[in-house]
Amino acid sequence: MIAEAASLLKEGGLVAFPTETVYGLGADSFNKSAVRRIYQVKGRPPDNPLIIHISSIEQIASVSNRAPEIVERLAEAFWPGPLTIVIPKADAVPEEVTAGLPKVAVRMPAHKVALALINDLGSPIAAPSANVSGRPSPTSPTHVIRDLYGKIEGILDAGETLYGVESTIIDLTTDPPTLLRPGALPVENVEKVLGKRVVIPPFARGLGEAERALAPGTRYRHYAPQATLIVVESDDYSDLEKIAEKVIEVAAKHIAKGVRVGILCTEETIDLYSPLRGRVSLKCLGSRRDPFTIARNLFRALREVDDEGLQLVIAEGMEERGLGLTIMNRLRKASGFNIVKV
Rounded to whole angstroms, the Cα distance separating 307 from 219 reads 26
Same domain, 13 and 129: yes
- The reported pTM is 0.95
Same domain, 192 and 94: yes
Same domain, 90 and 184: yes
Backbone angles phi, psi at 106, to 5 degrees: -135, 140
DSSP 8-state symbol, 258: T
Tell whether 214 is covered by a domain. Answer: no
Same domain, 155 and 244: no
Same domain, 182 and 232: no
Same domain, 166 and 273: no
Rounded to whole angstroms, the Cα distance separating 140 from 157 reads 8
pLDDT of the chain, 342 residues: tens digit per residue: 899 999 999 999 999 999 999 999 999 999 999 999 999 999 999 999 999 999 999 999 999 988 899 999 999 999 999 999 999 999 999 999 999 999 999 999 999 999 999 999 999 999 999 999 989 999 999 999 999 999 999 999 999 999 999 999 999 999 999 999 999 999 999 999 999 999 999 999 988 776 666 666 665 567 889 999 999 999 999 999 999 999 999 999 999 999 999 999 999 999 999 999 899 999 999 999 999 999 999 999 999 999 999 999 999 999 999 999 999 999 999 999 999 999
Domain count across the chain: 2
Rounded to whole angstroms, the Cα distance separating 11 from 280 reads 49
Same domain, 199 and 246: no
The pLDDT value given to residue 217: 61
Same domain, 244 and 182: no
Which among 174, 205, 236 is the end of a domain? Answer: 205
Same domain, 197 and 288: no
Domain of residue 118, CATH code: 3.90.870.10
- Are residues 217 and 169 in contact, defined by beta-carbon separation less than 8 angstroms? yes
In DSSP terms, 263 is beta-bridged to: 282, 314
Which has the closest alpha carbon to 340: 273, 209, 247, 256? 247
In DSSP terms, 188 is beta-bridged to: none
3-state SS class at 264: strand
